[in-house]
Amino acid sequence: MTIKKMFIDGKWVHASSGQIRTIINPFNQEEIATVTEGDQSDAKAAIIAARKAFDQGDWSSTPATERSSIVHKIADLIERDQQKLAELESLDTGKTVEESREDMVDIAGVFRYYAEIGDKNGGEIISSPIPNSVSKVVHEPVGVCGQITPWNYPLLQASWKLAPALVTGNTLVMKPSEITPLTTIKMFELIEEAGVPAGVANLVLGAGHTVGAELSTNVDVDLISFTGGIETGKKIMQAASVNVKKLALELGGKNPNIVFADADFNTAVDQAMNAVFFHAGQICSAGTRLIVEESIHDEFVEALVERVNNIKLGNGFDKDTQMGPLISAEHLAKVEKYVETGKQEGAKLLTGGRRPKDPALQNGFFYLPTIFTNCTTDMHIIQYEAFAPIITVEKFQTEQEAINLANNSTYGLAGGVWTNDIVKAERCVAKMRMGTVWINEYNVYFPHAPWGGYKQSGIGRELGKLGLEEYTETKHILHNLKPEPINWFGD
């Protein structure tokens, strides 16, 4: 099997150490690729290339319209290779091809959005109180950007970082998750094909404790953008202080989904499932904390369990499959421990809570959709992210109690409210401490709207105009048109 390489300074290269890594399909543990495995020395080489391309190259000074044109070309290429990319993503992650295909549409949309707005950020003239002067504010690229992406949505999360960084004139070094690098490798082939100059976009494969650590600590990196777990995010934040890097951190969530008694019952049940069971619950915004008004609690849970038990697990390439496997054996073991903790805490397991018995699924990292009731906010399973197909159900009696429950978390990424009373809905979302809150909807995003969290869900925003601003520095320029001596210290 051909060893897939990384991309440094416009060249496809093997790791300096000669190390390799085997990539497996989580559906059946079959080997699907072998990739080169980089370390600190490879990360340093990529940083040097990115630094040189920024400081001595033309990319940052290239007219924004030209950079936007290249980013448009990348979107074109993604659309051209959409099916191939979707299949590769499903092999790598285990998710259904239908989900991956929708991801590719979104990814092309992200590149298209930033290409369309990237040349419209030319700054502004501001009123100057100084006579005979002109004052203006301009936005310039940050410099060399380190970008670390997660395994759950490899190419989608990469697009959120790549597109705004490129269109604003930065150079970058990207490190994808070491267990799901395949579509990111393919993306860099498209970046090369689109005509991005050598050294501008660099790809280093390898583990977080080697490549990621170098990106975080290296003084020639000006910004670090990381999507992943909260503990790793804290380490990156500390490491980045060595040269006070700009930080953009998206660190997950434990997201509430509030259902009032006056909501449309069947729609709320359906959407409660959609909020969690896509990609086996491995979604940072998954609405895993279901908070249901007491008067409909029992009926709602009964309907939910009935539907959840009909979810079809299987191969993501099977058109009948509704949910694929977890990402790895290691993650499966963590989920099993998480569920056992819930039982020990006194939560009531209504369905799931184990691996499936179907012989056809035994080689994969499958876990049954799981529902817990009798949950309280002091429980581990309420406060900590599982990243799994698990719903915990809490109940409430009053609107304020629902809000209090929703906000009782160290996270603040996303949440939902289901009610036909729009005034009540607006009251709730005004008090919910989260970066995104949906009313009668869940898990919808688009490139035009910012994404990020309150509290320990992270720092900064991706997507939208704010996602563009993350990759720029703001400079004020004052030009005195008629300079004269001040004579403050005499002639």
pLDDT digits (tens, 9 = 90+) for 435-452: 999 999 999 999 999 999
Residue 340 annotated to the active site:
no
> How many Å is the Cα radius of gyration of the chain?
24
List, in sequence order, the alpha helices (H) in 56-205: 64-80, 82-93, 97-117, 154-167, 182-194
What's CA 226's distance to the chain center, in Å?
Answer: 8
DSSP 405-416: HHH-SS--SEEE
CA atoms within 13 A on the CB side of 292: 26
Q: Are 170 and 225 in contact (CB under 8 A)?
A: no
Total H helices, total E strands in the chain: 15, 21
Residue 179 neighbours by CB under 8 Å, 6+ apart = 23, 151, 327, 328
Q: Where is 202: in which H helix or E strand?
A: strand 201-203
* The token pair that represents 231 in the structure block: 């503990």
Could you identify the residue written with the tokens 């009313």? 439
Partners of 8 in the beta sheet?
11
| pLDDT at residue number 121 | 80
Q: Where are the domains of the chain?
A: 3-251+461-477, 256-439
Which pair of structure tokens corresponds to residue 36?
A: 């080169």
Residues 6+ apart with CB under 8 A from 302: none
Residue type, 281: G
CA atoms of 145 and 450, how far apart (whole Å): 20
Cα–Cα distance between 471 and 245 in angstroms, integer? Answer: 12
Checking DSSP bridges between strand 370-373 and strand 390-396, what pairing results, if any? parallel
- 3-251+461-477: which CATH number, 1.10.3430.10, 3.40.190.10, 2.170.8.10, 3.40.605.10? 3.40.605.10
Q: Is 469 exposed, middle or buried (0-12, 13-18, 19+ CB in 10 A)?
A: middle
Q: Parallel, antiparallel, or unpaired for β 6-8 and 11-13?
A: antiparallel
CA angle 423, 424, 430 (to 5 degrees): 90
Q: Which residue has the tokens 């285990």?
A: 94
Could you give the 3-state DSSP secondary structure of residue 226?
strand
Backbone angles phi, psi at 134, to 5 degrees: -120, 135
With a cut of 70, list the residues of the chain below it in pLDDT.
1
Instruction: Determine the Cα–Cα distance for residues 331 and 385; give it in Å rounded to an integer.
Output: 12
The fold of 256-439 is Aldehyde Dehydrogenase; Chain A, domain 2 (3.40.309)
Please tell me if the domain spanning 3-251+461-477 has the same topology as the one spanning 256-439. no
Report whether 350 contacts 342 (CB < 8 A). Answer: no
Give Cα 103 distance to the centre of its chain: 12
**Rounded Cα gap, residues 323 and 369, in angstroms:** 9
Between strands 171-175 and 144-148, the pairing is parallel
| List 250, 293, 385, 394, catalytic entry | 250
One DSSP character per residue, 248-309 reads EEE-----EEEE-TTS-HHHHHHHHHHHHHGGGG--TT---EEEEEHHHHHHHHHHHHHHHT
Angle at the Cα of 413 (from 26 to 161), degrees rounded to 5? 65
pLDDT for res 1: 66
Strand order in the sheet with 201-203: 11-13, 6-8, 201-203, 171-175, 144-148, 223-227, 246-250, 458-459
Residues 6 or more apart whose CB falls under 8 angstroms from that of 172 comprise 50, 144, 145, 146, 147, 161, 162, 165, 166, 200, 201, 202
Tokens 């320029």 correspond to what residue? Answer: 477
Sheet order of strands, 472-480 included: 124-126, 133-141, 472-480
Dist. CA 144–CA 64, nearest whole Å: 18
**Tokens representing residue 228 in the block:** 């992943």
Mean pLDDT of the chain: 97
